[in-house]
Amino acid sequence: MAGVRRSAAWFGASGRAGMIYRSWMRNQGFGAGVFDGRPVIGIATSASELAPCNAHLDRVADAVRRGVWAAGGFPLVFPTMSTGESLMRPTAMLYRNLMAMEVEELIRANPLDGVVLLSGCDKTTPAMLMAAASVDLPAVMVTGGPMLNGKYRGQDVGSGTHVWKFEEELKAGRMTQEECYFAEGCMARSNGHCMTMGTASTMACMAEALGMQLPGSATWPAVDARRFEIAQDAGGRIVEMVEEDLRPSRILTREAFENAIRVNAAIGGSTNAIIHLLAIAGRAEVPLRLGDFDALAREVPTLVDLMPSGRFLMEDFCYAGGLPVVQRQLLDAGLLNPAPVTVTGLGVADTVAGAENWNPEVITSTGEPFQPAGTGTAVLTGNLAPGGAVIKQSAASPHLLTHTGQALVFDTVEDYHAVSDDPDLDVTPDTILVIRGAGPKGYPGMPEVSNVALPAKLLKAGVTDMVRICDGRMSGTGYGTVVLHVTPESAVGGPLALVQTGDEITLDVPNRSLTLQVDEAELARRQEAWKAPDNPQTSGYTWLYTHHVEQADTGADFGFLHGRRGHAVPRDSH
Ligand code: FES
Ligand code: MG
């Protein structure tokens, strides 16, 4: 068997090259016996103190390492780039593709037969899955797990979600700055990623729903001993997967993506999952379109009552039984395909067969769901978004889902922030805030700025929501009636670039439309007069990004990264 393994091209080599490959590794104290042809397993860790959600992943790597040794493999931990959502500017999303490139190349360039991917914060999970799909070596993901529930003054507070709430309380004068400082520490009180159903929790669930991590793996809190137990299990399992040659191309099928989209609807997952799943599908050579998300999610009720749409947090979801319970309920209702194979080697139905619901308040049933089918994330089209736009209905206000109002337009989010506290701002609760220049190319990087806080004038008057339309993204922890990912973005001349203050816009979510009430002749005149903004990027990574990033409706990957490039052993280095 050893001869057919990739790693044998390095560690099984004779002569000078083999000596080099083995000798330098032995400076770490590995005995000669580890080069006997056993599977070499890379443990890719995105641990970083600059990505606080991933800061503990070295401990998770230790647990994986144990599992690999115990199963007869040779584990080698290596660091990858890390994209921390909370610190990186202009946005971690600018670097998702860079991280995906880096992880892909590291796996291919090294003597690995399989890989365990350790991720956590929002973008690190899709970046690693994109890489794994392109390399197509056996791969298991272990996400780092959510933080413990935030606790402030006897109440559960959710990461992200309560940042927006506290900001509103502060602006409305109901909370002091001192109280806010104190609450900061209460919100993030353990290792782990955001513990709301934000993008990190969503993508952890997506990795599990796609079949790329072990059942139950998405929800164990980062500090729970069972997080490390399941990491050890993943280490054992990857060794078997190498023997079985179970690769992402067998797991990441069209059916698996359909299942993941349905699970995303059932958990009330982040809108960002749409972009990331499209990008992963692009790597896995699976045809998937934006419209599929609406069509597949429409029949699925939201079962999980988690912030930002609901009340609970990831710890509660975990103790209720976690994602397998949701999958099992969807299977029972005929809403999930039982067949797609997971990293367990079994089909989904067998993977989650034993799941039991320990708290029906947190995980509701398809018979009496938290929110009925058809109220999940909707895909809108119309003359304002010919390539599509999305809105998370469960995080929106029902009375605004059908709404016509006058646009108040800002070319940049900074332009809005400069006036948002102005008591004389010409704005009513019916106004539609249009924020543009926040797309993949325009910002650049498509940041999570779309759910801007309401103007102070309205907040003080007790208004809690208004329609906002933007070509950027929204944090998965955010909420509000916010139309996101408007495509094409304004920076490439999408119709969003042509809206003027005072224009009427109609949002009609039940009919899935977004309409700028301006006649075609006038729009043609405006298009004629429109000039593309200068791209100030003349070199460096951001230049590469702005020249190659695609629009949100196909996943905002680089065009040249689509598809599988495989894991053929590269030419010798010496
Ligand atoms: Fe890292 Fe939310 S900031 S998951
Ligand atoms: Mg986020």
3-state helix, strand, coil in the chain (%, to 5): 40, 15, 45
What ipTM score was computed for the predicted complex, to two decimals? 0.90
How much distance in Å is there from the Cα of 312 to the middle of ligand 2?
A: 18
Neighbours of 148 (CB within 10 A): 19
If DSSP codes are grouped into helix, strand and coil, which group holds residue 129? helix
Ranges of the chain with pLDDT below 50: 1-3
Closest residue to atom 2 of ligand 1, CA basis: 194
Residue 569: name the closest of 245, 238, 137, 111 by CA.
Answer: 111
How much distance in Å is there from the Cα of 306 to the middle of ligand 2?
A: 15
Ligand of minimum distance to the alpha carbon of 275: 2
Residue 3: predicted pLDDT? 44
How much distance in Å is there from the Cα of 9 to the middle of ligand 1?
A: 39
Ligand 1 atom nearest to CA at 200:
4
DSSP tag of 558: B
Domain 377-529 fold is Glucose Oxidase; domain 1 (3.50.30)
Ligand 1 atom nearest to CA at 122:
4
Residue 164: predicted pLDDT? 83
**Amino acid in the structure at residue 459:** L
Query: Is pTM beyond 0.80 here?
Result: yes
How much distance in Å is there from the Cα of 310 to the middle of ligand 1?
A: 19
Which ranges constitute the DSSP H helices of 73-221? Answer: 96-109, 124-135, 161-171, 177-187, 199-210
The residue ranges of every structural domain in the chain are 377-529
Residue 479: predicted pLDDT? 86
Residue 98: predicted pLDDT? 98
Residue 410: predicted pLDDT? 98
Ligand 1 atom nearest to CA at 193:
4
Q: Are 129 and 509 in contact (CB under 8 A)?
A: no
Residue 172: predicted pLDDT? 83
Rg of the chain's alpha carbons, rounded to an integer? 24
How much distance in Å is there from the Cα of 424 to the middle of ligand 1?
A: 36
Going from the C-alpha of 311 to that of each of 142, 155, 156, 303, 307, the distances in angstroms are 26, 11, 9, 12, 5
Ligand of minimum distance to the alpha carbon of 193: 1
Digit-coded pLDDT (tens) for 33-65: 999 999 999 999 999 999 999 999 999 999 999
Which ranges constitute the DSSP H helices of 26-151? Answer: 57-70, 96-109, 124-135
Pocket of ligand 1 from Cβ distances under 6 Å? 53, 85-86, 121-122, 159, 193-194, 198, 200
Ligand 1 atom nearest to CA at 53:
1
How much distance in Å is there from the Cα of 70 to the middle of ligand 2?
A: 36
